[in-house]
Amino acid sequence: MDAAAYCTTFGGENQLESKVAYVVKRYPRFSETFIVNEILGHESAGLEIGIFSVRPPIDTHFQDVISRVKAPVEYIPSDNVRAAELWLAMQQCAAACSSDWRALDAFIGEPVLNLYQGIVLARKLKEGGYTHIHAHFASVATSIARIASRLANIPYTFTAHAKDIFHESVVEEDIRTKIADALGVVTVSRFNVENLTERFPESASKILLIYNGIDLDRFTYHDPDHRDRTIVFVGRLVEKKGLPTLVQACGILKDRGVDFRCRIIGTGEEEETIKSAISDSSVEQFVDMVGPLPQADVAKEIAKASVVAAPCVVGADGNRDGLPTVILEAMALGTPCVSTDVTGIPEVVKHGDTGLIVPQYDAVALADAMLRLIDDAEMRRHYAESGRRLIEREFDATINTGKQRGLFSRAEVAV
């Protein structure tokens, strides 16, 4: 059953009577605006949300949009757990949940910290009157949500993205168990649905496509006819973003005598590596390392540019992007994108219709594609108009969070 049918079957007027716990690894995070968009969509529809973070935040910058979230945030203790603390948590959980401790047999082999946090979370959810748990990423947040679900007898779902299902460290049996125990699994691209269905055919009916959505009211379409000769990149400076290829492509454009600027917006572990690459390619006069910016300022940068470049790659460890939110935002704003065929990206950047797709690691193809969009206003307009229509049809946060609420409202789960 696909997501739309699933939500039609299990949604309805009772969905706003739910109280949903969002379980995440760290909150807030500068780069995870898709989770914030999702929570805001639920809150605007009247759904009561609580946020539970299993690790403290580590970012030094946060997006302004976070201030719009009304949901309270609780941080589950994550320091080294002493035996006395574990026993106390179990006693408190037993009093609140009437737990059958034989349920813990299902979690043999779990790290002690996961077990402790799951027990603490179960008590908090039961005492708080929560009716559903939703975790983001199939890794630690879902591990803890699964434990809490079993002890508190509250159903859980989770969203699978990219690293959490593709990284070389992923344990297949762990993902299999999490899907089997969940009410349903949301994932963010058709590529992911097909991949997970092939890997876990016994749970195929639980794996649902619901694209990440954006608030279209915050991303006004701008006609792309008259744009600066500027390329914009937005994202974390990490391997899977393919920035070395972008820097090489900028070097090719420089050598051809092209008049352009490239603005790299973001921060990350490869920042010094990228700076060295810029120096090695002698493109310092063409490429600006801007650093992180608030979302409103990013939108202004994108709306002035001729092209957004997202030269994503599959990393050596299997890590890759799911479907970068910046692509959705750029297309909503009327700025065409050049990207690669990684995971779900071709589902939104449709080559020759809503943007251009080039091979991974191909700096020449990337340079050629970016130059076409810089030089050709008619091409930009065609891709921009087609792209905006696609975003309105498939990536509207109001519609997509409604599909999720239909999933959350289903009352039964095997626990």
Amino acid type, 265:
I
**Fold agreement between 3-213+396-408 and 216-394:** yes
pLDDT tens digits in sequence order for the chain, 415 residues long: 444 454 444 444 445 568 999 999 999 887 788 999 999 999 999 999 999 999 999 877 677 788 899 999 999 999 888 888 988 998 888 888 876 777 788 888 899 999 999 999 999 999 999 999 999 999 999 999 999 999 999 999 999 999 999 999 999 999 999 999 999 999 999 999 999 999 999 999 999 999 999 999 999 999 999 999 999 999 999 999 999 999 999 999 999 999 999 999 999 999 999 999 999 999 999 999 999 998 899 999 999 999 999 999 999 999 999 899 999 999 999 999 999 999 999 999 999 999 999 999 999 999 999 999 999 999 999 999 999 999 999 999 999 999 999 999 864 333 3
- Give the DSSP per-residue string, 78-107: -SPPPHHHHHHHHHHHHHHH---GGGGGGG
SS3 343: coil
Q: Are 327 and 307 in contact (CB under 8 A)?
A: no
Q: Is the dihedral of CA 269, 297, 219, 336 positive or negative?
A: negative
The DSSP 8-state label assigned to residue 159 in this structure reads: E
Predicted confidence (pLDDT) per residue in 28-69, tens digit: 887 788 999 999 999 999 999 999 999 999 877 677 788 899
Beta bridge partners of 20: 49, 132
Instruction: Residue 381: name the closest of 219, 216, 223 by CA.
Output: 223
Domains in the chain: boundaries:
3-213+396-408, 216-394
Instruction: Give burial (CB, 10 Å; 0-12/13-18/19+) of 414.
Output: exposed
Left if phi > 0, otherwise alpha if psi is -120 to 50, otherwise beta: which for 282?
Answer: left
Rounded to a whole number, what is the distance in angstroms from the first to the last CA of the chain?
A: 21
The predicted model scores a pTM of 0.91
Which residues, at least 6 apart from 199, have a Cβ–Cβ distance to it below 8 Å? Answer: 172, 175
- What the block records as the tokens of 160 is 């699978």
SS3 category, 413: coil
- Please tell me the distance from the alpha carbon of residue 180 to that of residue 172, in angstroms, as a whole number: 12
Sign of the Cα pseudo-torsion (337, 192, 404, 295, in order) = negative
Hey, which residues does 10 pair with through a beta bridge? none
Comparing C-alpha atoms, which of 144, 205, 146 is closest to residue 177?
146
* 292 phi, psi to nearest 5 deg: -75, 145
- pLDDT tens-place string over residues 155-180: 999 999 999 999 999 999 999 999 99
To the question of domain 216-394 being in CATH 3.40.50.360, the answer is no
Question: Going by CATH, does the domain composed of 3-213+396-408 fall within 3.40.50.2000?
Answer: yes
Phi/psi at 247 (5° precision)? -65, -40
